[in-house]
Chains A and B, each alone.
Chain A
Amino acid sequence: MKGKIKKLFLLSLLTVLALMFIYPFFWMIGGTLKPEIEVMNFSPFGSSWSLDSYRIMLGKIPLFRALFNSIIVSLISTVSVLVLSSMTGYALARLRFRGRSVIFNIILFTMVLPFQLTLIPLYVLMVKFGWVDTYAALIVPYTISAFAILLFRQFFMQVPHDLIDAARIDGLSELGILFRIFWPLSKPALITVGIIHYMGIWNEALWPMIVVRKLSMMTMPQMVALYAVGGQAESQVGTQLAAATLMSLPIIIIYLVLQRHFIASMASSGLKG
């Protein structure tokens, strides 16, 4: 009996807490559909509903262009990270070559290097390359990730050696072994790296704000942040929330579908420490 009461208490406590984490999003989405004067009301439901906030916002900023840019940048960068990092991870895990342990230590070192140190010099490099306001600036510095290399290395070390020997006897190249034997065996690692990297790039705001000035080259976080901060929104809260909603919905939908993978991936990313 006592246990039951305790469980009931904990359940109601958790429900209240969970509402604190979910309600703001309902309020945000509700706010985009309410008349502007009711946006700040506590209830997510208005006296009437319309898509005016979206219409007004989309008339002011080319958000679909930013959506397109976000997809291009996140997709290319993620594919590249999967391919190039797994190549490096495979070499570090399964091939004996000179300098291997030096490279491994360098990669560990880059993991602890604070980004604040290289932010400005990296921007200078983009200027020297003439990459400001191009996809190259948004993508190329994110084509390999040290975290992904280490994760792939860890994962690949557990693949039985017989498989490699057999593949070599069959005349497969090392790249063939990586993509035809190791990749199909490494779905959890690929999913983890894919989700974490895609999410990171999709949500990244600082780097685009440094290397992009042109409206047509902005990704969603930058365009939406500038819309909310600059004068364009004219303090119409509904339209700001509409921009935030359109930016969040794709990732929330993917999250709801792949929820378990998301949580497992993020947990493993933290624990590699």
Chain B
Amino acid sequence: MVSREQRAGHLLVAPYYIFFALFVAYPLIFSFVLVFHRWSIVGPLEWVGLSNFIELGGDPLFWKSIGNTLIFLIIHVPLQVSFALVLAAILNSKIPAQGVFRAAFFLPVVVSGVAVTILWKQMFSTNLGILNQLLYEFGIDPVPWVTDPSWAMPSIAMMATWKNIGLYVVLFLAGLQGIPRHLYEAADIDGASTVQKFFHITIPAINPVFVVVLILSTLGGFSLFIEPYVITGGGPMNSTLSGVLYIYRQAFSFFRMGYAATIGFALAFIVMTVVIIQRRFVEREV
């Protein structure tokens, strides 16, 4: 009986064994090989020692892409978290047609990033776009959304917030609905204000959701690719060059597989470090 279960277990997991060996273990090991080589994908690998890492350390475009990602995160994450939380709180307050509003906020989440990006590229147009037409109605001068280096990344961060907020509203809403009602009733008896209740009951209770939202939107920032690719091609003046876009360029415009893998390696290291730090500081034991 035990041996039957043993065999059945391994047989059922067998596809995963193959999958893991081919598409996880092999690429993982090979990435450690690639970072020490120069390789154009045709011809033999050429051992170059640590020179990929040395080049990376002094590569202004790599550091530019990291800086761009940080700009994106600094704008996107607080915007995402605060707006999603406020929207979820409003939706949670026994509003009629809650489902309709939730569905509306969620719509951009299901639509392909490519479609959303093409749409926003036109809305961002400095001379003709509907965003600047709207601002004009309020007497505001046109904003060079994606044509000015200091505006381009913040604009993309804004668009990404619009695209993803529905998901985070739903997550926060689920978190809020999970808070036991008696906590608020007890606070009412003690005479707590709305603000006090928010900071002492709501915020601690939704900490796990908060951590998820924080990490997911951070990972999103480090995965930016199609948005800058379609809207700006990484410009103007490399102000929207993202890490993944830079990997793509090194690999498929310059055919430098070793160096592209090294950027991926460094990026993965940074992502994991950032996420670990975030968890350390934000996660609370419940």
Chain A residues proximal to chain B, CB less than 8 Å: 7, 10-11, 13-14, 17-18, 20-22, 24-25, 27-28, 31, 39-40, 42, 84, 87-88, 90-92, 95-100, 103, 106-107, 110, 112-125, 127, 140-141, 143-144, 149, 173-175, 178, 199, 202-203, 205-206, 209-210, 220-221, 224-225, 228-229, 237, 240-241, 243-245, 247-248, 251-252, 255, 259, 262-263, 266-267, 270-271, 273
Contacts and interface: CB of A to CB of B under 8 A. Distances in A.
B109 A121 contact: no
Contact of A241 (B16, B101, B119): B119
Given A117-B268, A248-B111, A262-B110, A11 B212 contact: no
A219 B165 CA distance: 26
B113 A203 contact: yes
Interface stretch (B54-62, B138-146, B219-227): B219-227
B277 interface: no
11 contacts: A27-B123, A42-B130, A88-B16, A91-B8, A92-B13, A116-B222, A116-B223, A220-B112, A221-B113, A259-B103, A263-B102
Nearest to A43: B130
Interface in B2-50: 2, 5-13, 15-16, 19-20, 22-24, 26-28, 30-31, 34, 41
Nearest to B93: A10
Interface of B: 2, 5-13, 15-16, 19-20, 22-24, 26-28, 30-31, 34, 41, 87, 90-91, 93, 95-96, 100-115, 117-123, 125, 128-130, 133-134, 162, 166-168, 170-171, 174, 208-209, 211-213, 215-216, 219, 222-223, 225-226, 229-230, 233, 243-244, 247-248, 251-252, 257, 260-261, 263-265, 267-268, 271-272, 275
B12 A175 contact: yes
Given A117-B265, A225-B226, A244-B114, A27 B130 contact: yes
Contacts of A92: 13
B95 A14 contact: yes
B244 A206 contact: yes
B209 A22 contact: no
Contacts of B110: 199, 251-252, 255, 262
A95 B225 CA distance: 41
Contacts of B244: 116, 119, 206
B193 to A, nearest CB: 16
Nearest to A80: B15
A263 B172 CA distance: 12
Contacts of B112: 202-203, 205, 220-221, 247-248, 251
A92 B166 CA distance: 33
Contacts of A21: 104-105, 107-108, 162, 166
A28 B12 contact: no
A123 B27 CA distance: 9
Contacts of B19: 84, 143-144
Contact of A273 (B2, B102, B212): B212
Given A7-B95, A118-B28, A120-B264, A263 B41 contact: no
Given A18-B104, A110-B24, A96 B130 contact: no
A273 B208 contact: yes
B124 to A, nearest CB: 11
Nearest to A13: B90
- What are the nearest 10 A-B pairs in CB distance? A97-B9, A121-B27, A117-B268, A118-B27, A114-B268, A91-B12, A18-B104, A244-B115, A95-B9, A121-B30
Contact of A120 (B209, B222, B233, B260): B260
Contacts of B101: 14, 17-18
Given A96-B5, A114-B272, A120-B34, 11 more contacts: A18-B101, A95-B5, A95-B12, A113-B24, A114-B267, A120-B260, A205-B225, A228-B118, A241-B119, A267-B167, A273-B215
Nearest to B211: A273
A241 B125 CA distance: 14
Nearest to B175: A271
Of listed B90, B251, B264, residue having the most chain A CB within 10 A: B264
B12 A267 contact: no
A244 B23 contact: no
A244 B167 CA distance: 22
Contacts of B167: 266-267, 270
Given A116-B271, A120-B260, A121-B30, A270 B171 contact: yes
Contacts of B230: 225, 228-229
B129 A40 contact: yes
Nearest to A114: B268
A92 to B, nearest CB: 8
Contact of B247 (A119, A221, A255): A119
A174 B8 contact: yes
Nearest to A123: B251
